[in-house]
């Protein structure tokens, strides 16, 4: 149940109520089930023994809880408390995450934003641990809306962009469009109007493609709202006429209220006072009857502004104060800002300068909280990171298509060989028949000639296919190299451009009179520049590491194999690796032990190459032991790395077996088959190039040996090297 439920106290651009009602409309249309119908189905399911642990029953109960959260939040809270207990008892994590999210929706509808945030965060934690689920982007979008209504715009922006990136990866168009709408809300409040309009149009295109009429209405409404703020009331009116007519045809009171309210703003700007008053009164009546908190405050303040224009100060003051009280009840900073701005003007006209100053100070406070320079810079940074991640996702999809093409070609080759093999077998049967018939000896010779020609063509075709496969692999590897190097270079470019803009801000500030300069702003910008330079240095080092790793990967060893005692080689590499980690982090501590069978023979190998293999494996083992997240979850677990060496028989041949075991976080089963591939790494971006294990695998194979891995996530990882004696 991928809902984008926000909360019942809507904003004219769908901050809350419209998201809730719109999803509810979609949800009920898709399921066509009332409360009575859902209750009847639950009663029927509860007649089956063990119903409380049946996922069908629990999913249906979540649907009923969702409807309760919209229609009767108080009842929903009581119902969802029991539902959570059932899901936990049944160990049904998906159902528990859904129930927690719906619980957060109910609290939002009751105006308890902070309470809803705790339930959303708990739902997010569970959803992130469920493999193959698509709950995370929708939950992140809901969390962002709570932060938005609490005035935490930096956190909200981060939540929205994470939701968009997650929706791109899971192909969830509904979540992406909803999050785009919410990003545009913040752009709108920050007066980045062209950017807001661009996001709304992107949202409109998505909803037109999937045919969501309700959200199409919302998009036209929001675009008209931006046009109005850009002083284009005629363009705004065109968009709103489309939206309002569609809302009437859809017979949706929520959308009729929203478009009426926006039309009232437009007619007010056009000085059509009587039309605007009627539309505001319509919005106020619908909001009061249906409990639409934020729309109610918005229309009260809008009507107050009309009375102020007409010189009716008493009516304007009463309406503005009522709108302010409603906005404070909803903790809605935008409407509190608008109410205080109007009250400051009214008090000033009445000669009440003390109250006028107080209201103006409140207006300034809320206005500054919405439009801080820090949030503006964060918006630019998040937008840049999102565009980069979108390009990365496009590359990954293209790379996947390329791998499918190679796989298809390989499958075609196998099919071709099978056909030729069958033909060859048929030819052999014919040859036997011809040999049994002496009179057809000349035909046998002719057929043998044809067979030789076919075999030559087959060898030629095989050689061409092998060469083509090598070239395709080379192309894929080249693309991988370009992609890996492009990542840090893009970060260097982005942060350098951002730093250039910050330096320009400092220059503009320093041009001012010294008394007018904002030294705190200069210090903040310098601090941000310092952080950006650190990131530029970090990603430059990352690019350098990738280049060095590729040079190692492409370099074939020219050393000769010599009789080598493996024990001192292991001890030396183990000591170098542990020392290197202590140099990087002086707080790092791990216990490492060796268990080597006495009397091991010397073996023929290239010491430099095997040293590279051992260092790579030791470094990976210590890295797993030092994983901060794993250690935080297991504070009493002492990090350990153990090395054992013994002589074994394998395929009737003598080998030395070297095992390297750590008790770190382990490798998930879903990726363990990929770890020897070039550029594949389980480390975070910047901590590894993904070439170490690939290089080690090739070196061991070149020595006639074998490199294997075994791991249990959360317990241990063991790498085993077999080297021929």
The whole-angstrom separation of Cα 399 and Cα 348 is 65
| pLDDT value, residue 3 | 34
Q: What is the dihedral of CA 377, 379, 385, 389, to 10 degrees?
A: -170
* Segment 73-77 long-range contacts (CB within 8 Å, at least 24 positions apart): 73/8, 73/106, 73/107, 73/109, 73/110, 74/110, 76/102, 76/103, 76/106, 77/103, 77/106, 77/107, 77/110
From the list 99, 76, 84, the residue with the least C-alpha distance to 52 is: 84
CATH architecture of 562-724: 2-Layer Sandwich (3.30)
Tell me the per-residue pLDDT of 668-698, one tens digit each, with 9 for 90 and over.
888 888 888 877 777 765 566 667 788 888 8
Tell me the per-residue pLDDT of 516-556, one tens digit each, with 9 for 90 and over.
888 888 888 898 889 889 888 888 887 776 676 555 544 55
**Strand bridging mode 591-596 / 640-650:** parallel
Mean pLDDT for the chain overall: 78
From the list 648, 641, 619, 623, the residue with the least C-alpha distance to 706 is: 648
Regarding predicted confidence, which is higher, 586 or 568? 568
> Which whole-number Å values give the CA distances from 154 to 112, 370, 380, 709, in the listed order?
20, 10, 11, 43
Q: Over the range 74-88, which residues count as b (16 or more CB within 10 Å of their CB) and which as e?
A: eebbebbeebbebbe
Count of beta carbons in the 10 Å neighbourhood of residue 313: 15
Tell me the per-residue pLDDT of 588-622, one tens digit each, with 9 for 90 and over.
777 888 999 998 899 999 888 888 889 889 888 88
| pLDDT value, residue 719 | 94
pLDDT at 218 over 90: no
Of the ranges 147-161, 301-315, 390-404, which one carries the lowest mean pLDDT score? 390-404
Regarding predicted confidence, which is higher, 581 or 707? 707
Q: What single DSSP character describes residue 659?
A: E
Confidence of residue 166 (pLDDT cuts 50, 70, 90): confident
Outline where 90-152 has alpha helix (H): 93-109, 113-128, 136-149
Spell out where 367-506 has E strands.
none
pLDDT at 495 over 80: yes
The whole-angstrom separation of Cα 672 and Cα 669 is 5
| pLDDT value, residue 399 | 53
The whole-angstrom separation of Cα 266 and Cα 232 is 9
Regarding predicted confidence, which is higher, 422 or 218? 218
* Highest mean predicted confidence (pLDDT) among 11-20, 128-137, 166-175, 689-698: 166-175
pLDDT at 255 over 70: yes
| pLDDT value, residue 721 | 94
| pLDDT value, residue 19 | 39
> What's the CATH superfamily of 33-133?
Tetratricopeptide repeat domain (1.25.40.10)
| pLDDT value, residue 433 | 61
Count of beta carbons in the 10 Å neighbourhood of residue 457: 11
Confidence of residue 724 (pLDDT cuts 50, 70, 90): very high
The owner of tokens 């033909």 is 423
Domain layout of the chain by residue ranges: 33-133, 392-554, 562-724
* Highest mean predicted confidence (pLDDT) among 162-166, 464-468, 587-591: 162-166
pLDDT at 160 over 70: yes
The whole-angstrom separation of Cα 333 and Cα 338 is 9
Give the SS3 label for residue 687. Answer: coil
What proportion of the chain, given as a percentage, has pLDDT over 90?
7
Tell me the per-residue pLDDT of 295-334, one tens digit each, with 9 for 90 and over.
888 888 888 888 888 888 888 888 888 888 888 887 777 7
Cut 0.85: pTM above it: no
The whole-angstrom separation of Cα 59 and Cα 81 is 15
Stated as kind and residue range, the H or E segment containing 662 is strand 653-662
Regarding predicted confidence, which is higher, 17 or 422? 422
Confidence of residue 709 (pLDDT cuts 50, 70, 90): very high
Q: How many helices (H) and strands (E) does the chain have?
A: 25, 7
Confidence of residue 661 (pLDDT cuts 50, 70, 90): very high
Counting Cα atoms < 13 Å in the Cβ hemisphere of 323 gives 30
Q: What single DSSP character describes residue 371?
A: S
């Amino acid at each position: 149940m991928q809902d984008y439920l926000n909360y019942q106290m809507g904003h004219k651009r769908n901050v809350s109520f419209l998201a809730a009602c719109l999803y509810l409309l979609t949800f009920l249309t898709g399921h066509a089930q009332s409360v009575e119908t859902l209750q009847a189905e639950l009663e029927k399911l509860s007649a089956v023994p063990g119903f409380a642990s049946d996922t069908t029953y629990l999913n249906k109960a979540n649907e009923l809880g969702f409807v309760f959260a919209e229609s009767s939040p108080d009842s929903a809270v009581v119902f969802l408390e029991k539902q959570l207990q059932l899901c936990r008892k049944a160990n049904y994590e998906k159902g528990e995450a859904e129930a927690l999210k719906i619980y957060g929706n109910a609290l939002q509808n009751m105006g308890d934003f902070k309470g809803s945030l705790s339930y959303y965060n708990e739902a997010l934690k569970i959803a992130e641990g469920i493999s193959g689920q698509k709950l995370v982007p929708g939950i992140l979008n809901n969390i962002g809306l709570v932060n938005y209504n609490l005035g935490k715009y930096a956190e909200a922006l981060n939540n929205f962009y994470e939701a968009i990136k997650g929706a791109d990866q899971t192909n969830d168009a509904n979540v992406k469009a909803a999050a785009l709408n919410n990003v545009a809300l913040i752009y709108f409040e920050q007066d980045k109007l062209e950017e807001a309009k661009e996001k709304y149009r992107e949202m409109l295109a998505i909803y037109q493609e999937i045919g969501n009429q309700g959200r199409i209405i919302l998009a036209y409404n929001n675009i008209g709202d931006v046009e109005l703020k850009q002083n284009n009331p005629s363009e705004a009116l065109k968009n709103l006429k489309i939206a309002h007519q569609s809302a009437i045809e859809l017979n949706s009171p929520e959308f009729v209220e929203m478009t009426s309210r926006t039309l009232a703003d437009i007619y007010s700007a056009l000085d059509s006072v009587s039309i605007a008053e009627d539309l505001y009164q319509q919005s106020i009546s619908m909001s009061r009857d249906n409990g639409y908190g934020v729309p109610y405050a918005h229309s009260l303040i809008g009507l107050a502004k009309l009375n102020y224009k007409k010189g009716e100060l008493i009516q304007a003051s009463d309406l503005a104060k009522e709108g302010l009280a409603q906005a404070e009840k909803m903790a809605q900073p935008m409407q509190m800002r608008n109410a205080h701005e109007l009250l400051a003007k009214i008090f000033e006209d009445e000669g009440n300068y003390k109250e006028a100053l107080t209201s103006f100070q409140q207006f300034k406070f809320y206005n500054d909280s919405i439009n801080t320079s820090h949030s503006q810079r964060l918006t630019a940074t998040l937008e840049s990171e999102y565009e980069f991640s979108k390009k990365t996702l496009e590359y990954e999809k293209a790379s996947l298509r390329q791998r499918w093409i190679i796989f298809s070609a390989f499958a075609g080759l196998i099919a071709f060989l099978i056909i030729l093999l069958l033909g060859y077998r048929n030819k052999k049967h014919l040859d036997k028949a011809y040999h049994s018939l002496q009179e057809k000896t000349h035909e046998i010779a002719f057929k043998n000639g044809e067979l030789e020609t076919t075999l030559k063509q087959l060898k030629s075709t095989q050689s061409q296919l092998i060469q083509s496969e090598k070239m395709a692999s080379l192309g894929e590897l080249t693309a991988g190299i370009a992609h890996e190097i492009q990542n840090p270079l893009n970060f260097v470019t982005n942060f350098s451009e951002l730093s250039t803009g910050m330096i320009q801000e400092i220059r503009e500030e320093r041009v001012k009179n010294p008394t007018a300069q904002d030294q705190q702003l200069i210090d903040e910008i310098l601090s941000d520049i310092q952080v950006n330079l650190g990131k530029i240095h970090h990603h430059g080092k990352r690019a350098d590491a990738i280049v060095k790793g590729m040079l190692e990967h492409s370099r074939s060893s020219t050393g000769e194999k010599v009789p080598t005692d493996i024990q001192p080689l292991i001890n030396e590499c183990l000591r170098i690796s542990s020392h290197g980690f202590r140099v990087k982090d002086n707080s790092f501590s791990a216990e490492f032990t060796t268990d080597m069978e006495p009397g091991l023979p010397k073996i023929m190998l290239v010491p430099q190459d095997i040293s590279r293999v051992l260092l790579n494996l030791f470094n990976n083992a210590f890295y797993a032991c030092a994983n901060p997240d794993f250690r935080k979850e297991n504070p009493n677990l002492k990090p350990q790395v153990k090395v054992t060496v013994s002589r074994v028989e394998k395929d009737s041949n003598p080998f030395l077996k070297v095992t390297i075991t750590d008790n770190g976080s382990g490798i998930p089963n879903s990726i363990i088959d990929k770890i020897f591939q070039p550029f594949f790494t389980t480390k975070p971006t910047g901590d590894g190039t993904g070439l170490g294990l690939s290089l080690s695998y090739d070196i061991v194979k070149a020595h006639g040996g074998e490199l294997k891995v075994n791991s249990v996530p959360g317990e241990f990882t063991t790498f085993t090297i077999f080297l021929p004696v």
